[in-house]
């Protein structure tokens, strides 16, 4: 049997170039190889932890599904579904929560960071769990931190365990949640004396992970940082973004080390352009002949070669209601088949399967 790879994304906005080069492009390649059974889902239940506008949530789900398909994910080769279309997930979420401690959930870096931001309190990742709890509970605005935010790791664990995923590609910010998933699986197996849940591992595509820099001179590309190139950006808007990317005054001596913003531009160049173009601009920089305007124009045009076809295809798919409905219905049926079996097994293991049925 093939190993299972599972990945989900919260519908909080459009996909950007970092999403594509860092993960989506590799998913498409992996799909073509046919080595794994792949599950790709839209995590709309996870999005509820930040209480999004219902109309906007619906629109975002629709848009991301269209972008998935436009980028090359094939519903006949991969299972593509919306999280809330699998009702077995929230039920298993309830059952698994019975084996999860409040302290270990409060200990997660993601929860403490979100609590700090939402409540305006200072919470260190090294703080004692009880101190964190007292700060949150004692804060007059604590109603803004909902229980779903606290139990986010449990829901993520269920997404993974209900499909018996072997591999889950996650970034550094989600590694702690994946470790909790392994812990929950071990705890369940140990408590009931079974060898049921496997322990999923981070998925390694091979080679060095791709880190796509933003246009602001530092860090990586991200929606919250406002430094993104979106897959659906129109030509003019995209060119304008790239031309505004941060640079410096230029090298003053041959082979001068690059400042971080300039190195970021060359990283983008290496990701989207051909080796001869990379060599041309690298030589120009090392010889103090670089013109950043020309470099940015080249990067913009090469990015457009990637994103323009995806953008146009996304528009077509979003307008095809029947195709979208067919894809998501098929995906939900495939995802539920395995999920229903898992839930039935867990109910039986926990002793809550009705004996009168």
Going by the DSSP 8-state scheme, the letter that residue 144 receives in this structure is G
Per mean pLDDT, which range of 46-50, 60-64, 184-188, 269-273 is the poorest? 46-50
Edge-to-edge, what's the strand order for the sheet holding 37-42?
A: 79-82, 37-42, 4-9, 167-168, 201-202
Helix (H, G, I), strand (E, B) or coil at 274: coil
pLDDT tens digits, 309-318: 999 999 999 9
Architecture category of domain 4-100+151-210+320-350 in CATH:
3-Layer(aba) Sandwich (3.40)
pLDDT given at position 171: 74
- What's the farthest any 2 CA atoms get from each other in the chain? 83
Distance, in Å, from the CA atom of 76 to the CA atom of 334, rounded to the nearest integer, reads 11
pLDDT given at position 179: 93
Residues constituting the chain: 357
Out of 77, 198, 211, 223, which one is annotated catalytic? 223
Confidence of residue 325 (pLDDT cuts 50, 70, 90): very high
The phi-psi region of residue 251 (left if phi > 0; otherwise alpha if psi is between -120 and 50; otherwise beta) is beta
Question: Which one is the CATH code of 235-316: 1.10.240.10, 3.30.565.10, 1.10.620.20, 3.40.630.30?
Answer: 1.10.240.10
pLDDT given at position 60: 92
Cβ atoms of 12 and 63 within 8 Å: the answer is: no
Confidence of residue 115 (pLDDT cuts 50, 70, 90): low
* Contacting residues for 220 by C-beta, under 8 A, at least 6 apart: 18, 211, 212, 213, 214
> Is 220 one of the catalytic residues?
yes
Q: Is the pLDDT assigned to residue 49 strictly greater than 80?
A: yes
* Contacting residues for 223 by C-beta, under 8 A, at least 6 apart: 12, 13, 14, 16
Confidence of residue 13 (pLDDT cuts 50, 70, 90): confident
* Contacting residues for 39 by C-beta, under 8 A, at least 6 apart: 4, 5, 6, 7, 78, 79, 81, 163, 165, 335
pLDDT given at position 103: 84
The mean per-residue pLDDT over the stretch 16-43 comes to 90
Out of 26, 112, 114, 296, which one is annotated catalytic? 114
Give the CA radius of gyration of the chain.
Answer: 23
pLDDT tens digits, 274-318: 999 999 999 999 999 999 999 999 999 999 999 999 999 999 999
> Is 240 one of the catalytic residues?
no
Pairwise pLDDT comparison (17 vs 140), residue with the higher score:
17
For the entire predicted model, the pTM comes to: 0.86
Helix or strand run (H / E) with residue 28: helix 25-33
Q: Is the pLDDT assigned to residue 180 strictly greater than 80?
A: yes
pLDDT tens digits, 205-214: 666 677 888 8
Pairwise pLDDT comparison (234 vs 116), residue with the higher score:
234
In the chain, pLDDT over 70 holds for what percent of residues?
89
Q: Quick count: other Cβ atoms within 10 Å of Cβ 240?
A: 12
The phi-psi region of residue 288 (left if phi > 0; otherwise alpha if psi is between -120 and 50; otherwise beta) is left
pLDDT given at position 137: 53
Q: Is the pLDDT assigned to residue 225 strictly greater than 90?
A: no
Out of 220, 236, 241, 296, which one is annotated catalytic? 220
pLDDT given at position 237: 95
pLDDT given at position 30: 86
Domain ranges within the chain, ordered by starting residue: 4-100+151-210+320-350, 235-316
> Is 3 one of the catalytic residues?
no
pLDDT given at position 243: 94
Q: Is the pLDDT assigned to residue 45 strictly greater than 90?
A: yes
Distance, in Å, from the CA atom of 111 to the CA atom of 150, rounded to the nearest integer, reads 6
Q: Is the pLDDT assigned to residue 172 strictly greater than 80?
A: no
Tokens 């045009």: give the residue. Answer: 301
């Amino acid at each position: 049997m093939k190993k299972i790879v599972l990945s989900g994304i919260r519908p909080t906005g459009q996909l950007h170039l970092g999403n594509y080069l860092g993960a989506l492009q590799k998913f498409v390649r992996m799909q073509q190889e046919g080595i794994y059974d792949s599950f790709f889902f839209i995590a709309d239940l996870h999005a509820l932890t930040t209480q999004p506008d219902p109309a906007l949530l619906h629109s975002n789900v629709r848009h991301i599904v269209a972008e998935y398909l436009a980028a090359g994910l094939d519903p006949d080769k991969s299972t593509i579904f919306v999280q809330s279309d699998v009702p077995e997930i929230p039920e298993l979420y309830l059952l698994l929560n019975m084996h999860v401690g409040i302290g270990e959930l409060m200990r997660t870096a993601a929860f403490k960071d979100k609590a700090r931001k939402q409540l305006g309190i200072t919470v260190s990742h090294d703080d004692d769990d009880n101190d964190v709890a007292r700060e949150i509970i004692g804060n007059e605005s604590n109603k803004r931190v909902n229980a779903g935010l606290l139990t986010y790791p449990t829901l993520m664990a269920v997404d993974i365990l209900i499909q018996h995923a072997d591999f889950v590609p996650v970034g550094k910010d989600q590694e702690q949640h994946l470790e909790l998933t392994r812990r929950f699986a071990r705890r369940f197996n140990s408590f009931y004396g079974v060898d049921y849940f496997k322990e999923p591992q981070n998925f390694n595509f091979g080679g060095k992970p791709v880190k796509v820099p933003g246009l602001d001179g530092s860090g990586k590309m991200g929606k919250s940082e406002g430094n993104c190139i979106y897959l659906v950006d129109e030509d003019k808007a995209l060119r304008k973004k790239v031309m505004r990317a941060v640079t410096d005054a230029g090298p003053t001596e041959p082979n001068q080390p690059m400042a971080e913003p300039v190195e970021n531009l060359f990283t983008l160049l290496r990701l989207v352009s051909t080796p001869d173009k990379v060599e041309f601009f690298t030589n120009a920089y090392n010889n103090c002949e670089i013109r950043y305007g020309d470099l940015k124009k080249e990067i913009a045009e090469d990015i457009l070669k990637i994103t323009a076809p995806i953008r146009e295809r996304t528009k077509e798919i979003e307008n095809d209601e029947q195709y979208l409905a067919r894809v998501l219905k098929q995906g939900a049926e495939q995802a539920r088949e395995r999920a229903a079996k898992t839930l039935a097994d867990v109910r039986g293991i926990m002793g809550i399967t009705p004996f009168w049925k």
